[in-house]
């Protein structure tokens, strides 16, 4: 299902700030070499993440789902000078690709890539999060959210990706496993009085969730 029509997408991209050279390399490399290149955040969503981060100047960012490193490099652009970004990736090959790009980044000393299952790693991170980006397996979203929210500072922000799941959550009967999981996540957040949330039609849908 087309969530935002192609003409609008083209116009929005043409009038949003452009990605820098390293981000362009990650984007092009991923499109050329990765069978699941569509998972990359892309130019407009990347600029959105960068903008939020630059406005908040976070000291601690957590990303769940590194892939080839694009969104981590976008979020890193706003890091406070003493800030750190942790990013978690299950797949060894994707982590290795991301690390190669991180090594070329001006933020390389602030980027900490951890290989493994995010559910095992998150409880080992003794940090207070300013920004969290959840963008891994959709059936894990509620678990990630519950693991992470207690460690988010008041007014800290969780951003969850794919909350419209290719439009499948809009169907009268939601059938797919991932779409069901995303819909359950959206309901879970809506019923949670600890947060304020707004869902945006950026790319595949982004939820901005502020801890009150």
Ligand X SMILES: C[S@@+](CC[C@H](N)C(=O)[O-])C[C@H]1O[C@@H](n2cnc3c(N)ncnc32)[C@H](O)[C@@H]1O
Order the strands of the 84-89 sheet from edge to edge.
111-115, 84-89, 60-64, 129-134, 152-161, 206-211, 195-200
Q: How far apart are CA 52 and CA 69, in angstroms?
A: 17
Structure tokens at 122: 């998150």
Residue 90 within binding range of ligand X, rule CB under 6 A:
yes
Q: How far apart are CB 70 and ligand X at their closest, in Å?
A: 4
Residue 91 within binding range of ligand X, rule CB under 6 A:
yes
Q: Looking at beta carbons only, is 106 or 120 nearer to ligand X?
A: 120
Q: How far apart are CA 88 and CA 5, in angstroms?
A: 32
Q: Looking at beta carbons only, is 56 or 88 nearer to ligand X?
A: 88
Residue 136 within binding range of ligand X, rule CB under 6 A:
yes
Residue 192 within binding range of ligand X, rule CB under 6 A:
no
Nearest residue by C-beta to ligand X? 65
Residue 94 within binding range of ligand X, rule CB under 6 A:
yes
β partners of residue 129:
152
Choose the stretch contacting ligand X; rule: CB under 6 A; options: 1-9, 131-139, 181-189, 197-205.
131-139
Q: How far apart are CA 67 and CA 31, in angstroms?
A: 12
Structure tokens at 103: 């090594």
Q: Looking at beta carbons only, is 40 or 202 nearer to ligand X?
A: 40
What residues numbered 17-46 form the site for ligand X, per CB under 6 A?
A: 39-41
What residues numbered 98-127 form the site for ligand X, per CB under 6 A?
A: 117-118
Q: Looking at beta carbons only, is 40 or 206 nearer to ligand X?
A: 40
Enter the DSSP assignment of 18: P
Q: What is the largest CA-CA distance in the chain?
A: 48
Residue 137 within binding range of ligand X, rule CB under 6 A:
yes
Angstrom CA distances, 209 to 33, 98, 109, 157, stand at 33, 26, 28, 6
What residues numbered 139-178 form the site for ligand X, per CB under 6 A?
A: 140
β partners of residue 197:
209
Structure tokens at 209: 């969730």
Pick one of 88, 152, 163, 206: the residue that binds ligand X (CB under 6 A): 88
- Residue ranges in contact with ligand X by CB under 6 A: 39-41, 65, 67, 70-71, 88-91, 94, 117-118, 135-137, 140
């Amino acid at each position: 299902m087309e969530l935002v029509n192609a003409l609008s997408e083209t116009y929005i991209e043409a009038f949003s700030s452009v990605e820098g050279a390293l981000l362009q390399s990650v984007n092009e490399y991923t499109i050329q070499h990765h069978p699941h290149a569509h998972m990359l955040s892309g130019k407009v969503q990347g600029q959105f993440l960068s903008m939020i981060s630059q406005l908040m100047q976070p000291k601690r960012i957590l990303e769940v789902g590194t892939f080839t490193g694009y969104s981590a490099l976008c979020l890193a652009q706003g890091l406070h000078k003493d800030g750190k970004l942790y990013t978690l990736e299950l797949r060894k090959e994707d982590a290795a690709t991301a690390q190669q790009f991180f090594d070329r980044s001006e933020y390389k000393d602030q980027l900490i890539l951890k290989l493994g299952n995010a559910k095992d790693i998150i409880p080992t991170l003794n940090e207070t999060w300013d920004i969290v980006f959840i963008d891994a397996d959709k059936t894990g979203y509620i678990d990630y959210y519950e693991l992470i929210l207690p460690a988010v500072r008041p007014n800290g922000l969780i951003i969850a990706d794919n909350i419209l799941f290719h439009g499948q959550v809009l169907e009268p009967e939601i059938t797919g496993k991932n779409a069901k999981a995303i819909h359950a996540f959206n309901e879970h957040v809506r019923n949670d009085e600890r947060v304020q949330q707004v869902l945006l039609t950026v790319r595949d849908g982004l939820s901005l969730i502020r801890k009150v």
